[in-house]
Amino acid sequence: STATPSLANSFATELYTGNGGTQSVTTGFKPDFTWIKDRVGTDNHHLFDSIRGVEMRIISNLADAQNLQANSLTSFNTLGFSLGSNSGVNASGENHVSWNWKAGGTPAINTDGTITSVVSANQAAGFSVVSYIGASGTVGHGLGSAPEIIFIKVTNTADNWVVYNNTIGATKALFLDLTNTPSTNSTYFNNTNPSSSVFTLGTSFNNSNNYIAYCFTSISGYSKVGTYTGNGNINGPTETLGFEPGFLLIKDTSSVDAWVIYDSARNTSNPRSCHLRPNSSAVEYCGTPDSVNFNSNDFQVISTWDAINKLNDVYIYLAIKEN
């Protein structure tokens, strides 16, 4: 790619109302990864990226294989993306949310690992999209520093999402489409944490299957992959970030509970009570005390809800600054 990835305009949450026909949504940059959810309907989460191609959907709340969704996300544009009439992403009169990331544009072959990968990486923003054929070995991710959370999905057959996180370590894995606690098994990541150039796969990944991976690492003043311990009080933990978050993904690693997403577009002021669940097709829920506050330098949990603040449970999170 001739484009130079940069931190500017690397993430945006955009809201839109479906029209049942065609429309374009403006993000301010050309996305490489767009995640869409109907906020008022029970449609599945729709995830698209520029490596797999437009209209090729995977679902965060199901183990289903990738499938062609005609008239869904039909193009990634210079300043956003375009939609067709597919009701999962453009149901007439219904409110939708899209979370959008810029990677590195046109992908490149990466031979850093024992498994050749195709990578679109935005090192400045700590994000890359990685495609590869699975096998035991190492895969180049293009970030230039070790990813702290990786979401992996097999695309040509049905199987659960597999999630690496640096807090739980390479001996365990989480699953984005499930509420489970981490599974201890060396066959996921071969008990090996990622390096600045590669992540390691164990024997759980089939040699003949196709995989997509979304890799994130913390960038000072912009994003943070972190952890906190719940206190069970309405005045919950405060996590210093060094920026005001616009997107926050949380998962309890100690108990069986939902993945949860908050953002600053669906709630423009505190408390941020509207949340969606990546592991569920459920409609958006907005209600206290299931809330967080987004502050200029941190976020604070203001809830006794077990999914985000159970006494002594350990939580992981991905926080990103809104452009």
Tens digits of residue pLDDT in 267-277: 999 999 999 99
Q: Is the pLDDT of residue 5 over 90?
A: no
SS3 305: coil
How many residues are listed for the chain in this entry?
A: 323
**pLDDT recorded at residue 207:** 78
pTM attached to this predicted model:
0.97
Mean pLDDT of the chain: 96
250 in Cβ contact with 259 (< 8 Å): yes
- Whole-angstrom distance, CA of residue 79 vs CA of residue 93: 23
Cis ω on the peptide bond leading into residue 5 (within 30° of 0)?
no
90 in Cβ contact with 83 (< 8 Å): yes
* DSSP structure string for 182-212: PEE-HHHHTT----SSEEEE-TTS-TT-EEE
**pLDDT recorded at residue 1:** 44
Cis ω on the peptide bond leading into residue 271 (within 30° of 0)?
yes
Average pLDDT estimate for 297-313: 97
Number of Cβ atoms within 10 Å of the Cβ of 92: 11
- Whole-angstrom distance, CA of residue 241 vs CA of residue 220: 8
Average pLDDT estimate for 40-50: 97
């994000």: which residue's tokens? 127
Structural tokens at position 262: 């908050």
Sorting pLDDT into bands at 50, 70 and 90, what band is 323? confident
Residue 278 region, left (φ>0) first, then alpha (ψ -120 to 50), else beta? alpha
- Whole-angstrom distance, CA of residue 222 vs CA of residue 180: 29
**pLDDT recorded at residue 6:** 77
Average pLDDT estimate for 165-171: 97
**pLDDT recorded at residue 4:** 64
Average pLDDT estimate for 5-13: 88
Residues of the chain with pLDDT > 70, as a percent, come to 98
118 in Cβ contact with 111 (< 8 Å): no
Strands (E), 18-145: 23-26, 33-38, 46-49, 56-57, 67-68, 73-77, 80-83, 95-101, 108-110, 117-122, 127-133, 137-140
Structural tokens at position 138: 């190492």
199 in Cβ contact with 189 (< 8 Å): yes
56, 320, 82, 70 alpha-carbon torsion, rounded to 10°: 20
- Of 112-116, 207-211, 260-264, 309-313, the range with the lowest mean pLDDT is 207-211
**pLDDT recorded at residue 2:** 45
pLDDT in tens, 204-255: 887 789 999 999 999 999 999 999 999 999 999 999 999 999 999 999 999 9
Instruction: For residue 310, give the amino acid letter.
Output: K
